[in-house]
Amino acid sequence: MEKLLDIITKVNGAVNSFAWGPIMLLLLVGSGVYLSIRTGFIQVGKFGYIMKNTVGSLFRKGDKKDHGKNLSPFQAVTTALAGTVGTGNIAGVTGAIFVGGPGAVFWMWVSAFFGMCTKYAEIALAMKYREKDANGVYHGGPMYYITNGLGKNFKWLAVIFAILGGLASFGIGNIAQSSEIAGAMNGLFKLTPLITGIILAVVVAIVVLGGVKRIGQVTSYIVPFMAIFYILCGIIVIVMRITSIPAAFVEIFKGAFSFEAVGGGIFGYVIMQAMRQGFARGVFSNEAGLGSAPIAHAASSTEEPVEQAMWGVFEVFIDTIIICTITALTVILSGVLGTEGGLSAFSSKGAAAVAAFNSILPGTIGGTIIQISLVFFALSTILSWSYYGETCWAYISKNNKVVDYIYKIIFILVCIVGATGSGTLMWDISDTLNGLMALHNLIALLPLAGIVAKMTKDYFNKDSLRK
């Protein structure tokens, strides 16, 4: 068994070096730059309008109409955010800083800035090219805008993406999350991983077997609570070290542009590590370019693609610019980066984040905050990714009900596997699958940039108030 794991680790490492190598990073950021140019940097020029009509709309009298078998616009957003805001915002960011240094934070910001437009484009295309089944339910995502946008000759690309997404749902969407939940529940209630896994499987079954509507209903309550809870707690922690904040930002910018060689290694190794970790963890966290979030947005009852797509800008902003930055500043301000042995001194990336919060807050309050956040972040991610995986396998099987049922049963049981096993290797495999998903998604996204630009221009030209 150990030999098999060693082989898997080596193969994954080789593929990962390509999936997140220089070419991929260039394609990822370059796509965001290109899409930003084609849409007139909508994330800047229309930022006020977007915030007013996304998060701002939540404070206005809501639309109470029945959305049928599809999700309401808000439920679609919270389902996508459930997958976006996950353990990557805590454990992933912490790990990135330990490996890439504080400079990784700056490159996360860069990936988020351009990622806002990338996710905007993904959602707009998913809305435009989605399909409605015989029951009136919408289905969409990269598979559909590849097939319906690029043409039937590119169906092979859609199938490959669907396979990668279907497999990733068990990794990033389940095992990696279940493992973090098991660790958090052990810290909070001393529950064994097996007990946690069984409880988690039951909870996930109740929600997932209820279909996308139930997933949307549950995430519409979980996501706002968990986001507000973590943000408020994080702000309190940062304020307690407010005098050190300027020095923390100096570390971030200094590390982002450091061309030092480490241990006699290659000149510029530090900046390359910072860029790689920043871009990789940025995408792992906000999923811009990954092609996953558009699957949830495509299930929205909204008719106007651009209106739903604007939520993509908001998602990346809240996920990376706000939540990931809070985690990053806490880790840097805490001083845990100076721990002897680095990340290996902790049992997990989540444990390193716990140590960071505990070093600032009295007693074990910080650890409790992180553990509670990890439970909700990870649970919401599991729920949303169950739908992503379901949609991917449904595309491949042409909506075969038997395949759908088998997938859900396996997905539920995998919660136990994830809770009782080590998530380290699965984190690495998930990272690789994410990179490959992004690669195939971006190959489709770039040729369709003109369509996105036209939709954007037509939408904002309809009404002079949309400025």
The answer as to whether 97 is a domain residue is yes
pLDDT of residue 269: 62
pLDDT of residue 453: 96
pLDDT digits (tens, 9 = 90+) for 69-126: 788 888 888 999 888 887 778 888 998 899 888 999 999 999 999 999 999 999 999 9
Q: Is 86 left (phi over 0), alpha (psi -120 to 50) or beta?
A: beta
pLDDT of residue 447: 95
Q: Does the pLDDT of residue 198 top 90, yes or no? A: yes
CATH number, domain with residue 206? 1.20.1740.10
The answer as to whether 26 is a domain residue is no
Q: Does the pLDDT of residue 417 top 80, yes or no? A: yes
The answer as to whether 312 is a domain residue is yes
Q: Does the pLDDT of residue 251 top 90, yes or no? A: yes
The answer as to whether 464 is a domain residue is no
Higher-pLDDT residue of 2 and 341 is 341
Q: Tokens 């860029």 label which residue?
A: 275
Q: Give the integer Cα–Cα distance in Å for 351 and 423.
A: 13
Higher-pLDDT residue of 231 and 73 is 231
Q: What is the mean pLDDT of residues 177-191?
A: 89
- Residue 167 CB-half CA count within 13 A: 15
pLDDT of residue 263: 43
* Non-local CB neighbours of 376 within 8 Å, separated by 6+ positions: 222, 225, 226, 229
pLDDT of residue 51: 92
pLDDT of residue 161: 96
pLDDT of residue 1: 61
Q: What is the mean pLDDT of residues 421-429?
A: 71
> Which residue segment(s) compose the domain that 123 sits in?
67-456
Q: Does the pLDDT of residue 464 top 60, yes or no? A: no
Q: Give the integer Cα–Cα distance in Å for 333 and 209.
A: 43
Take residue 185 and report the two structure tokens written for it. 């529940």
Band of residue 142 on the pLDDT scale cut at 50, 70, 90? very high
The answer as to whether 214 is a domain residue is yes
- Would you say 200 and 386 are in contact if contact means Cβ atoms under 8 Å apart? no
pLDDT digits (tens, 9 = 90+) for 37-59: 999 999 999 999 999 988 887 66
pLDDT of residue 259: 63
Q: Tokens 């996501």 label which residue?
A: 223
How many CB atoms are located within 10 Å of the residue 259 CB?
A: 10
Give just the sign of the alpha carbon dihedral 435, 440, 441, 447: positive
Band of residue 433 on the pLDDT scale cut at 50, 70, 90? confident
pLDDT digits (tens, 9 = 90+) for 255-283: 888 765 444 444 456 677 788 788 877 77
Percentage of the chain surpassing pLDDT 90? 55
User: How many domains are contained in the chain?
Assistant: 1
The answer as to whether 72 is a domain residue is yes
pLDDT of residue 112: 93
pLDDT digits (tens, 9 = 90+) for 288-298: 899 999 999 99
The answer as to whether 160 is a domain residue is yes
pLDDT of residue 262: 43
Query: Of the candidates 282, 296, 277, which has an alpha carbon nearest to the alpha carbon of residue 165?
Result: 296
Q: Give the integer Cα–Cα distance in Å for 381 and 171.
A: 11
Q: Give the integer Cα–Cα distance in Å for 339 and 346.
A: 9
Q: Give the integer Cα–Cα distance in Å for 438 and 81.
A: 18
- Would you say 349 and 95 are in contact if contact means Cβ atoms under 8 Å apart? yes
pLDDT digits (tens, 9 = 90+) for 301-311: 899 999 999 99
pLDDT of residue 339: 85
Q: Report the chain's mean pLDDT, rounded to a whole number.
A: 88
Higher-pLDDT residue of 428 and 419 is 419
Band of residue 67 on the pLDDT scale cut at 50, 70, 90? low
The answer as to whether 147 is a domain residue is yes
- Would you say 320 and 282 are in contact if contact means Cβ atoms under 8 Å apart? yes
Q: Does the pLDDT of residue 370 top 50, yes or no? A: yes
Take residue 289 and report the two structure tokens written for it. 């370019």
- Residue 336 CB-half CA count within 13 A: 27
Q: Give the integer Cα–Cα distance in Å for 126 and 146.
A: 9
Q: Does the pLDDT of residue 25 top 80, yes or no? A: no
pLDDT of residue 59: 64
Angle CA 254–260–263, to nearest 5: 130
pLDDT digits (tens, 9 = 90+) for 396-415: 999 999 999 999 999 999 99
* CA 240 to mean position of chain CA atoms: 29
- Would you say 121 and 289 are in contact if contact means Cβ atoms under 8 Å apart? no
pLDDT of residue 258: 73
3-class SS string, the chain: CHHHHHHHHHHHHHHHHHHCCHHHHHHHHHHHHHHHHHCCCHHHHCHHHHHHHCHHHHHCCCCCCCCCCCECHHHHHHHHHHHHCCHHHCHHHHHHHHHHCCHHHHHHHHHHHHHHHHHHHHHHHHHHCCEECCCCCEECCHHHHHHHHHCHHHHHHHHHHHHHHHHHHHHHHHHHHHHHHHHHHHHHHCCCHHHHHHHHHHHHHHHHCCHHHHHHHHHHHHHHHHHHHHHHHHHHHHHCCHHHHHHHHHHHHHHHCCCCCCCCCCCCHHHHHHHHHHHHHHHHHHCCCCCCHHHHHCCECCCCHHHHHHHHHHHHHHHHHHHHHHHHHHHHHHCHHHCCCHHHHCCCHHHHHHHHHHHHCCCCHHHHHHHHHHHHHHHHHHHHHHHHHHHHHHHHHCCCHHHHHHHHHHHHHHHHHHHHCCCHHHHHHHHHHHHHHHHHHHHHHHHHHHHHHHHHHHHHHHCCCCC
Q: Give the integer Cα–Cα distance in Å for 234 and 442.
A: 34
In this prediction the pTM is 0.91
